[in-house]
Structure 1
Amino acid sequence: MEKVIMVVGPTAVGKSGLGIQLAQKFQGEIISGDSMQVYRHLDIGTAKVFPAEMAGIPHHLLNIRNVDESFSAYDFQQAATQLVDEIAGRGHVPIVVGGTGFYLRMFWLGWTLGHERHTDDEDTALDDAAAWTQLHQKDPVAAAKIPVTNRRRVDRALAVIAATGHLFSDQGDTLQPAMDALFIGLHTDRQQLYTRINQRVTQMITAGLEGEARWLYAHDGTQVAAGKGIGYREWWPYFAGERTKAEVVERIQADSRHYAKRQLTYFRHQLPVQWFDLLNDPNAAANIDQAVTDFLAK
């Protein structure tokens, strides 16, 4: 079982910078664990690390899809697993950096669902209520936690049950990891995090996010999966003359804050994360280095 370091946490908390620092210290290569950074041309809104910032560290799974192409959790699991083998084969340490929780959990556990949605024709033809009822029959505990209207999560739960043979509600207890992973989680005071998020959005606007969003809009952004990402979808009403630019900025900031809250909740409940506060704890960097050193020495 290959050793993998996974740097996780909410948006704007400093994951990319830490990933590069760890790669420099431990001969690592970075695998992006972000569902939006796979898309070409979407650089500012996805907070990609630019080549000049990479410090010579190889970065993988960036710019591998056009915006009209799909990239599922299964695609990530397959690509990242292969990259881990290749990176380890070069004598380097695979370091996965990102905030797309389900992708990271699926990769860690080695799920091979094929699709994020359940793919039986009989099931996908069901309406929302019927699909939820089917989940309730198979896994009432999971169904009780998922609203009837959250079709994507209902389908995801059905897909996991079909692929693994285990209840979706029991996945944390019944599945063994496919990777020997050390989860380094970054967090900080909530108000400080929200301030950083708001500042990052302002910086993105200054860097030209509107132009990037206009490019996506001109390439059927309202219709493709890439156009549903935070930082892009908020512009569509503005381009249609239904929202002011100030309202767009406020909406991006609010959506980003809400997403950060959901990320933290997911990581805390779904992954065995060791948490560190690089912004306020002067010992955090040294403690992270020690945790990685101990992990790699095992």
Structure 2
Amino acid sequence: MIKVVAIVGPTAVGKSALGLKLAKKFDGEIISGDSMQIYRRLDIGTAKDSQQELLEVPHHLVNICDADQRYTVKDFQSKARQVITELNSKKKLPLVVGGTGFYLSSLINNLNLGGKSTSDKTIRDELIKLEQAGNLKELQNILKKEDPLAFQKIDIENSRRLIRAIEVIRTTGKSIAEQNNGMKWADFYLIGLTDERSKLYDRINKRVDKMVSLGLLDEARYVYDHQDIFPQAKNGIGYKELFPYFDGQADLDECLSEVKKNSRHFAKRQFTYFRNQMDVDWYNISDDKNYQEMIEKNIIEFIGGHND
């Protein structure tokens, strides 16, 4: 069976750095499991690897769309499976790295995300009108009432996923969280990185400051200027919080504080999702001093070979 390593965990914990190291050691290639890194020109706010790092190790599902293009979890699932299959045929180790929980769940658990039978244009158009009117809370309330299971499992801050989940429950009567065809197509080893909360939150705050120094404001302004045609990017953490600053309704420090706060809250949700929804081998990067050596040893055992 195809062997795949996935690195999951909260934002800013060090997933990308570990992925690069493991890819070099095990002759692997990286598949981004992040819902925002697919977009071209959105580099800083999405915490993409640097251009040098992208050249050092082949990356997949990074910079594959313009921000005005719609990209769904089904698109990710299909493309990621294709890349993993191709890498396996080349005897390369696929390393899925990212923190978008439902994307990774769709891939790992082989979720059946539906085709024509789970799609209804009338329902979707009605829900999209709510999204365009900025009624995220109403979409959340609809899903919570009609599909409480999906409400607990998907990213309820993502309006497109809310719309998709509501559409599925209304057209099939079944929760999108249960859309699993029951067939295991690959063997996954899930590595989870975590850290003491205070240290993780400090790292998040410092990363936001670094993003600002790298040009986050210019990038956020680009999203702000195109928010009418950037349906997913406009809701990205690191962008949406700066809109009041561009509108002249809040000062910069206040908006950056919101970026940090929302990033911390997102990290907490990520950890909770992966801990509750997936079988993850967790490593605390502060408590486990030799965690990287332990991970490498476990990967060797997982792939059933040796690495010099």
Give the TM-score, by structure 2 length: 0.83
Aligned partner of 2:104 in structure 1 is 104
Q: Is 1:178 paired with 2:196?
A: no
Per-residue CA deviation, residues 139-188 of structure 1 (Å, 9 max, x unaligned), is 67667999x9997666554566689996556678x844432100000000
Q: Which amino acid aligns with 1:212?
A: E
SS in 1 for 2:56: coil
Whole-angstrom CA distance in 2 between matches of 1:31 and 1:296: 18
Of the three residues 270, 274, 287, the one matched with 1:267 is 274
1:179-214 CA-partner distances (Å, limit 9, x unpaired): 210000000001111010001001101111001111
In 2, the alpha carbon distance for the partners of 1:55 and 1:149 equals 33
Residue in structure 2 matched with residue 243 of structure 1 by the alignment:
250
Per-residue CA distance 1:71-97 (angstroms, 9 max, x = gap):
110010011000001111111000000
Deviations 1:110-138 (A, max 9, x none): 224258xx62245447779x999997998
Distance 2:80 2:50 in 1: 20
- Residues matched between the structures, number: 294
User: Would you say 1:215 and 2:222 are equivalent positions?
Assistant: yes
Change in 2 beyond 3 A, CA 1:193/1:212: same
Q: Is the 8 A contact 1:222 1:236 kept in 2?
A: no
Say which SS state the counterpart of residue 5 (structure 2) adopts: strand
Deviation of 1:217 after TM superposition, in Å, equals 1.9
Q: Which residue of 2 aligns with 1:287?
A: 294
- Residue in 2 aligned with 1:74? 74
Greater CA drift, 194-203 or 152-161: 152-161
Aligned counterparts, 1:1-298, within 5 A:
1-54=1-54, 56-114=56-114, 119-121=119-121, 123-124=123-124, 155-157=163-165, 175-220=182-227, 224-297=231-304
User: RMSD in angstroms over aligned alpha carbons?
Assistant: 3.4
Residues 33/131 of structure 1: CA separation in 2 closer, same or farther (3 Å cut) = closer
Cα drift, residue 258 of structure 1: 0.4
Q: 1:175 to 1:225 in 2, by over 3 A?
A: same
The amino acid across from 1:278 in the alignment is I
Please report the TM-score for the alignment, with normalisation by the length of structure 1.
0.85
SS of residue matched to 1:214: helix
Which ranges of structure 2 fall in alignment gaps of 5 or more residues? 128-135
Could you tell me whether the CA contact under 8 Å between 1:185 and 1:273 is conserved in 2?
yes
CA contact (8 A) 1:113 1:163 kept: no
Separation in structure 1 between the aligned mates of residue 249 and residue 144 of structure 2, nearest angstrom: 40
Identical-residue share of aligned pairs (%): 44
5+ residue gaps, structure 1, are none
